[in-house]
């Protein structure tokens, strides 16, 4: 006996539809369902020996060249090609930063070759060899690698890898919250350093004189 689920609540009908898709899918199918309660989860190939695949949503991160401040964190569902996420990421960054600071260049890795961005900012794609690139520009291109430990800190220390929010909206909010938390922690560190410097300038120094003890 089969149940169509027409008289069931919306949540139950969604669960039934997901179950039917899981039952009908095959190993070689594309856009398979890997999670019952999060059908949007995608299988992302990492290309690393220790961890070949990750299951979740792809997140694009933009940071400053100096200081490593996070300018944008955009969740891109569907596991698209990295180059096809640059336009959406730059639109987010332009709303938050570029129009005020007049950013001129954007440095990306080789996964962004053939990107879809056609804005005013110059996009410099990383290369394996320097070639005819000037030393000053090459130094900034190599600085792009500093974003990798930033992504690692977002995953391990700011819960980017362990999302507790549901749905695509939860994925997008989790990426923004993780980036905001990291910026706030860096900002608190600057405030603490400034406060200590201010206190050291206001308080008089203490001198401790050590006298020999005669037996």
What does the alpha-carbon distance between residue 56 and residue 38 come to, in Å, rounded to a whole number? 9
Contact (CB, 8 A) for 46 and 148: no
Q: Give the DSSP letter of residue 204.
A: P
Per residue in 162-200, pLDDT (tens digit) is: 888 988 899 999 999 999 999 999 999 999 999 988 888
Q: Which pLDDT belongs to residue 206?
A: 62
State the pTM of this model: 0.79
Per residue in 115-172, pLDDT (tens digit) is: 999 988 899 999 888 888 888 888 888 889 899 999 999 999 999 988 889 888 999 9
Strand segments, DSSP code E, in the chain are: 42-45, 53-56, 58-63, 70-76, 105-108, 122-125
What residue spans of 1-134 are helical by DSSP H? 10-24, 86-93, 99-101
């Amino acid at each position: 006996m089969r149940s169509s689920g027409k008289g069931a609540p919306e949540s139950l009908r969604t669960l039934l539809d997901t179950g039917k898709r899981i039952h009908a899918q095959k190993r070689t199918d594309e856009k398979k369902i890997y999670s019952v309660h999060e059908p949007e989860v995608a299988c992302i190939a990492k290309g690393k020996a220790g961890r070949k695949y990750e299951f979740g949503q792809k997140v694009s991160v933009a940071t400053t060249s100096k200081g490593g401040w996070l300018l944008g964190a955009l969740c891109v569902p569907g596991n698209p090609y990295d180059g096809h996420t640059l336009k959406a990421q730059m639109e987010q960054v332009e709303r938050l930063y570029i129009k005020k600071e007049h950013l001129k260049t954007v440095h990306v890795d080789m996964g962004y070759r053939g990107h879809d961005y056609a804005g005013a900012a110059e996009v410099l794609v990383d290369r394996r060899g320097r070639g005819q690139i000037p030393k000053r520009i090459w130094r900034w291109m190599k600085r792009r690698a500093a974003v990798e430990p930033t992504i690692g800190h977002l995953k391990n220390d700011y819960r980017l890898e362990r999302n507790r929010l549901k749905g695509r909206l939860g994925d997008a909010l989790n990426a923004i919250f993780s980036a905001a938390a990291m910026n706030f922690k860096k900002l608190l560190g600057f405030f603490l350093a400034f406060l200590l410097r201010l206190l050291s300038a206001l308080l008089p120094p203490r001198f401790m004189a050590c006298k020999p003890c005669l037996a």
